[in-house]
């Protein structure tokens, strides 16, 4: 039924006449370009700030700061692999984080469900993911705009929960200290993120959910023809993404040690940029979670490195922006052709 390769205007069609891609390795790292770029960045900044950049503290900082986008990137990548997109990240984070803080021991003394607070937080994310997924698949509203709306819904929930009382704080020590505590020299936050990434890789490679995600991204029509319950699996993917965002929100709240509706601030564009830089096609079907992980690390290293190198905050966004464009340009250059359709 489609005259066009892409489901949404945002998305990039496969090269019309480019040579077929080579057989992929076990995981999706098709070429080492991204990895090399990452190493390049590390090398540059290490050279610029020999004393500080490679110091254990700084590396820990980088890993710790990468943990949020890594976790959220898992969900975001799955959604983008189906050819959809999830903009609701920051809203979901806010709602989940606030729920968690208010349900665990906090200075407001609102409630203390102990570990169940985490479950509750994630549950909120699942519900929001469900909302996005249902509206998108049943009402046929483009994911772009649905999740845009859910973003505000999430923020709204967080704000309502916050109400007009004092900031709810987490008590010192205990669970609040967990993310920054080191295990085998690495911050727990990062280890958690790593776990999420590995789980994501497993799902993408060894489960129906993962494989069908790729299938749907390749062509919803054909997937239907192959008897894949497309809508249901898209729904699942949005739920998973919601859960990931929620987990990110809880972690962010833990790190901050307080409830804040804007706990997810700046995560969305960072994550999407990471997905794109990693080389996952916004058109769906091509790419993978490992790529996103690399993209996240690139951006985190870049951000951290720029600060270490004393770049003025005014122009920092410009540098990141330029790098994003450059990365995509380099990644897509080989596919250039006069027949290539790029959205």
> How far is Cα 220 from Cα 222, in angstroms, rounded to an integer?
6
Which value, in Å, is the radius of gyration of the alpha carbons in the chain? 20
Q: Are 214 and 288 in contact (CB under 8 A)?
A: no
Q: Which is nearer to other proteins, 183 or 226 (CB)?
A: 226
Toward other proteins, which CB reaches closer, 48 or 116? 48
The least distance separating other proteins from the CB of residue 148, rounded to whole angstroms, comes to 6
Question: Smaller CB distance to other proteins: residue 153 or 175?
Answer: 153
Closer residue to other proteins (CB): 52 or 116: 52
Least Å from the CB of residue 112 to other proteins? 19
Q: How far apart are CA 160 and CA 155, in angstroms?
A: 9
* CA separation, residue 203 to residues 51, 80, 226, 276 (Å): 40, 15, 20, 20
- Torsion angle defined by CA atoms of residues 24, 191, 39 and 249, in that order, rounded to the nearest 10 degrees: 90
Shortest distance, position 268 Cβ to other proteins, whole Å: 10
Q: How far is the CB of 165 from other proteins (least distance, A)?
A: 7
The tokens of 10 are what? 């945002």
CB of 209 to other proteins, least distance (A): 7
Beta carbon nearer to other proteins, 215 or 241: 215
116 versus 142: smaller Cβ distance to other proteins: 142
For the record, the structure tokens of 197 come out as: 């990434």
Cα–Cα distance measured from residue 76 to residue 96, given in angstroms and rounded to the nearest whole number: 17
Q: How far is the CB of 97 from other proteins (least distance, A)?
A: 10
**25 or 115: CB nearest other proteins:** 25
Rounded to whole angstroms, what are the CA distances from 93 to 86, 103, 212, 275, 342?
13, 15, 27, 18, 32
Torsion angle defined by CA atoms of residues 78, 83, 89 and 92, in that order, rounded to the nearest 10 degrees = -80
In angstroms, give the least distance from the CB of 5 to other proteins. 5
Residue 78: which of 195, 200, 193 has the closest Cα? 200
């Amino acid at each position: 039924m489609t005259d066009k390769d892409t489901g949404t205007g945002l998305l990039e069609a496969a090269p019309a006449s480019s040579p077929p891609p080579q057989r992929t390795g076990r995981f999706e790292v098709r070429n080492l370009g991204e990895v090399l770029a990452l190493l390049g960045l590390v090398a540059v900044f290490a050279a610029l700030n020999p004393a500080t950049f490679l110091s254990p503290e700084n590396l820990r900082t980088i890993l710790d700061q990468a943990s949020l986008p890594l976790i959220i990137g898992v969900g975001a990548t799955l959604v983008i692999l189906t050819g959809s997109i999830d903009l609701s990240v920051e809203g979901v984070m806010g709602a989940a984080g606030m729920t968690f803080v208010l349900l665990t021991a906090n200075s407001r003394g609102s409630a203390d469900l102990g570990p169940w607070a985490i479950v509750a937080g994630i549950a909120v994310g699942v519900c929001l993911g469900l909302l996005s997924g249902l509206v998108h698949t049943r009402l046929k509203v483009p994911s772009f705009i649905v999740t845009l709306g859910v973003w505000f819904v999430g923020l709204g929930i967080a704000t309502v929960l916050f109400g007009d009382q004092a900031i709810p704080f987490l008590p010192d020590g205990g669970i609040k200290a967990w993310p920054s505590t080191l295990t085998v020299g690495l911050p727990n936050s990062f280890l958690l993120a790593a776990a999420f990434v590995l789980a994501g890789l497993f799902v993408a490679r060894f489960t129906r959910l993962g494989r069908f995600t790729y299938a749907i991204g390749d062509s919803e029509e054909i997937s239907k023809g192959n008897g894949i319950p497309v809508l249901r699996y898209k729904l699942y993917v949005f739920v998973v993404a919601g859960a990931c965002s929620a987990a990110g929100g809880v972690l962010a709240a833990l790190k901050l040690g307080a409830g804040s509706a804007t706990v997810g601030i700046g995560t969305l564009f960072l994550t999407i940029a990471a997905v794109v830089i990693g080389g996952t096609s916004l058109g769906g079907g091509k790419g993978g979670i490992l790529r996103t992980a690399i993209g996240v690390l690139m951006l985190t290293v870049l951000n951290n490195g720029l600060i270490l190198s004393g770049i003025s905050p005014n122009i920092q966004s410009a540098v990141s922006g330029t790098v994003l464009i450059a990365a995509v340009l380099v990644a897509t250059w080989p596919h250039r052709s006069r027949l290539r359709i790029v959205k």
